[in-house]
Homo-oligomer: A and B are copies of this chain.
Amino acid sequence: MADSTPTEAEAACFEAGIKFGSLYHQFAGTPLSLESAASLETAIEESIENQPHCAGVTVEIQREELEAELAESSADYTELTGRFLEVEIVVDYEGREVVTRMAMEDGYPLMKLESVRDTT
């Protein structure tokens, strides 16, 4: 029977997933306008970077998507959702560096594991 104990690299990937799920479900639904987008980006980055093993978070709220949605609407704000988000998160766990990214794919905000490297 094969050993089922997780490797360091697998644990690093688990940690990266936690950050993504946290980021999305903490902040989805936040009232969002062109004026408030920059402060929300910064707050999301700095809050998620507090989490253990988180080496860096970059959040880019897509201004063109946001402008397009607001142009069609009678309101001057909307809610943060995956459609407006591009995110990169780098996790460093016991010498394993994991790079992950979220962006829209086929109308669905896809979270992707990009690379796993041993940096020891």
Using CB atoms and an 8 Å cutoff, list the residues of chain A in contact with chain B.
2, 4-7, 9-11, 13-26, 28-33, 35-36, 39-40, 42-44, 46-52, 73-77, 79, 81, 98, 100, 106-108, 111, 113-118
Contact = CB atoms under 8 A, between A and B. Distances in A.
A10 B98 CA distance: 10
A10 to B, nearest CB: 4
How many copies of this chain does one complex carry? 4
Contacts of A23: 21, 25
Decide if the interface of chain A is mainly helix, strand, loop or mixed. Answer: mixed
A105 to B, nearest CB: 10
Contacts of A100: 14
A15 to B, nearest CB: 6
B36 A39 contact: no
A88 to B, nearest CB: 14
B20 A32 contact: no
5 contacts: A10-B116, A14-B113, A18-B20, A22-B24, A74-B107
